[in-house]
């Protein structure tokens, strides 16, 4: 079993890219977002509807009808399928007109949103039927239910999906509207967009998928220079280490689910669905450096003792402040007179730290910093790995090195102006040279 999730579909060209990706991957479930333009109009409907501007709402719905019909005219050429999708569009549009006649409330607003999400999915479904694939919509608003903590009720979903698949055993491919579900009271609801990958992982787990392909934003990730999976294949532990370091990769519980159900995760970029950027599984290829990730907007802070407190008490005081204000520490190094930290912290947080510690330590701050995480099998017993890394970047000034806290991550802090030189040097040595 395989599940594919797509993050964004802006226009007709991107619909074609999604269709081509599905034809190439042959998934059992495709998780698709609402078309970007429909998302914008959906917001317009909510605003005008809650301001009792019914005419504006109806005008926007008519624009949606025209837009969807145009897509159908361009992409669905089979006469019978073309006629069917036009009927489907008309049914959804009539339903939307009826819904906005109701008194505005949050539940009806969610129902309107669900209708537009389903309409968007139906366009993709008929494009796939055009390609000869027996496809139907996955009624996730029926069997995906959140519990009291607003988390997916996996046992409930697993029980319901068995019955659902039994009734629809002849379907080759299900298309699920991204994030659509129901709350603990059985009402239409949506999972947060920040958890889109997790939503797809839930579907993959209940379908007992072996593999999930996630189209996601992969900024500042450098890997796969030679196209060989061995050079960009991460273990669950390596991926989890990245996330815990504050790197945006996936929602943390995605790795937990994948590990529990032994699912392989393949990450592709939203702009290049055909190229695999990272591969996450239980297998360790044993390669050295597998990926390089950059993290911006990081602050370097050095605390130098004023000799008011012994070193161990100063460390304790600093960690107490970190816990008290929930400050994300990327990495840390210390000596008997000073402590250096890389923090994800706002100006206000830095001022709070300074106010708390001014009696005990002098605080030096540099906000123009970047952090580079070198990911792979970097166990300390592999004696040449760390020396190779340092030798490769010996021409670049480094403010802080963190190594030894994990067998999978070597972290380096440099000024923003040196970030590109550092990444280029590491990529050429560890990623491009291997392909030769």
Sketch the domain layout of the chain as residue ranges.
2-216, 289-435
Question: Could you give the CA distance from residue 149 to residue 141 in angstroms, rounded to a whole number?
Answer: 18
Read off the pTM.
Answer: 0.80
H or E stretch covering 349 = helix 347-357
pLDDT at 380: 65
Q: Which pLDDT score is estimated for 165?
A: 81
Per-residue pLDDT of the chain (436 residues; tens, 9 = 90+): 899 999 989 999 999 999 999 999 999 999 999 999 999 999 999 998 888 888 899 999 999 999 999 999 999 999 999 999 999 999 999 999 999 988 888 899 999 999 999 999 999 999 999 999 999 999 888 888 888 878 888 888 888 888 888 888 889 999 999 999 999 888 999 988 778 899 999 999 988 899 999 998 777 777 755 556 666 688 888 888 777 766 677 888 889 899 998 999 998 888 888 888 888 888 776 667 888 888 888 899 999 999 898 888 888 999 999 999 888 888 888 887 889 988 888 889 999 999 999 999 999 998 888 888 888 777 666 667 778 888 888 899 988 888 766 777 788 889 988 999 998 888 888 877 443 3
Crossing angle for the helix pair 79-99 and 106-130, to the nearest 10 degrees: 180
- As given in the structure block, the two tokens for residue 206 are 């209940």
What pLDDT, on the 0 to 100 scale, is given for residue 193? 78
Query: Nearest-5° angle of CA 241, CA 245, CA 249?
Result: 75
Q: Number of C-alpha atoms within 13 angstroms, CB side, residue 255?
A: 19
Q: What is the pLDDT of residue 434?
A: 46
Fold adopted by 289-435: VC0802-like (3.30.2130)
Say which residue the tokens 């009271």 belong to: 185
- Asked if 68 and 82 count as a contact pair (C-beta separation under 8 A), the reply is no
Report domain 2-216's class: alpha beta
Strands (E), 191-327: 211-216, 221-222, 233-235, 264-269, 272-281, 289-305
Distance CA 298, CA 412 (A): 12
Beta-bridged to residue 31, according to DSSP, are 5, 176
Distance (Å) of CA 215 to CA 14, 21, 27, 183: 13, 11, 14, 26
Q: DSSP secondary-structure letter at 432?
A: I
Dist CA 206 CA 201 (whole Å)? 9
Q: How far does CA 347 lie from the centroid of its chain?
A: 27
> Mapped to the 3 state alphabet, what secondary structure does the chain carry?
CEEEECCCCCCHHHHHHHHHHHHHHCCCEEEECCCHHHHHHHHHHHHHHHCCCHHHHHHHHHHHHHHHHHHHHHHCCCHHHHHHHHHHHHHHHHHHHHHCCCCCCHHHHHHHHHHHHHHHHHHHHHHHHHCCCCEEECCHHHHCEECCCCCECHHHHHHHHHHHHHHCCCCCEEEEECCEEECCCCCEEECCHHHHHHHHHHHHHHCCCCEEEEEECCCCEECCCCCCHHHCEEEHHHHHHHHHCCCCCCCHHHHHHHHHHCCEEEEEECCEEEEEEEEEECCCCCCCEEEEEEEEEEEEEEEEECCCCCHHHHHHHHHHHHHHCCCEEEEEEECCCEEEEEEECCHHHHHHHHHHHCCCEEEEEEEEEEEEEEEECCCCCCHHHHHHHHHHCCCCCCCEEECCCCCCEEEEEEEHHHHHHHHHHHHHHHHHHHHC
> pLDDT value at position 111?
93
The residue written with tokens 């299900």 in the block is 174
């Amino acid at each position: 079993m395989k599940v594919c999730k797509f993050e964004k579909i802006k226009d007709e060209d991107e619909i074609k890219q999604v269709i081509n990706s599905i034809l190439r991957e042959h998934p059992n479930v495709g998780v698709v977002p609402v078309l970007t333009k429909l998302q914008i109009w959906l917001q317009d409907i909510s605003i005008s509807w809650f301001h009792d501007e019914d005419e504006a709402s109806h005008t926007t719905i008519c624009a949606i009808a025209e837009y969807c019909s145009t897509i159908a005219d361009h992409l669905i050429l089979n006469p019978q399928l073309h006629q069917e999708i036009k009927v489907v569009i008309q049914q959804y549009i009539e339903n939307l007109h009826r819904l906005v006649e109701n008194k505005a409330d949050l539940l009806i607003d969610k129902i309107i949103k669900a209708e537009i999400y389903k309409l968007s999915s139906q366009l993709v479904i008929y494009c796939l039927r055009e390609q000869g694939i027996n496809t139907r919509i996955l009624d996730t608003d029926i069997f995906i239910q959140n519990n009291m903590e607003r988390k997916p009720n996996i046992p409930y979903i697993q029980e319901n999906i068995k019955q659902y698949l039994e009734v629809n055993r002849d379907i080759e491919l299900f298309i699920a509207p991204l994030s659509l579900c129901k709350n603990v009271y059985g009402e239409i609801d949506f999972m947060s967009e920040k958890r889109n990958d997790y939503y797809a992982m839930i579907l993959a787990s209940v379908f007992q998928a072996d593999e999930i392909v996630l189209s996601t934003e992969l900024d500042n990730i450098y890997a796969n220079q030679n196209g060989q999976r061995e050079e960009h294949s991460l273990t669950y532990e390596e991926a989890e280490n990245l996330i815990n370091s504050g790197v945006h990769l996936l929602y943390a519980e995605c790795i937990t689910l994948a590990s529990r159900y032994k699912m392989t995760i393949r990450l592709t970029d939203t702009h290049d669905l055909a190229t695999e950027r990272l591969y996450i599984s239980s297998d360790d290829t044993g390669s050295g450096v597998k990926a390089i990730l950059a993290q911006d907007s990081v602050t370097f802070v050095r605390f130098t003792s004023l000799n008011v407190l012994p070193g161990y008490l100063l460390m304790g005081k600093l960690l107490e402040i970190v816990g008290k204000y929930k400050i994300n520490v990327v990495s840390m190094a210390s000596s008997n007179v000073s402590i250096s930290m890389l923090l994800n912290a706002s100006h206000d947080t830095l001022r709070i730290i300074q106010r708390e510690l001014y009696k005990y330590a002098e605080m030096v701050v540099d906000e123009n910093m970047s952090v580079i995480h070198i990911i792979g099998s970097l166990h300390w017993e592999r004696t040449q790995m760390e020396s190779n890394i340092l030798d490769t970047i010996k021409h670049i000034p480094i403010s802080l090195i963190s190594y030894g806290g994990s067998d999978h991550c070597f972290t380096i802090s440099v000024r923003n102006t040196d970030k590109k030189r550092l990444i280029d040097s590491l990529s050429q040595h560890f990623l491009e040279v291997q392909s030769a």
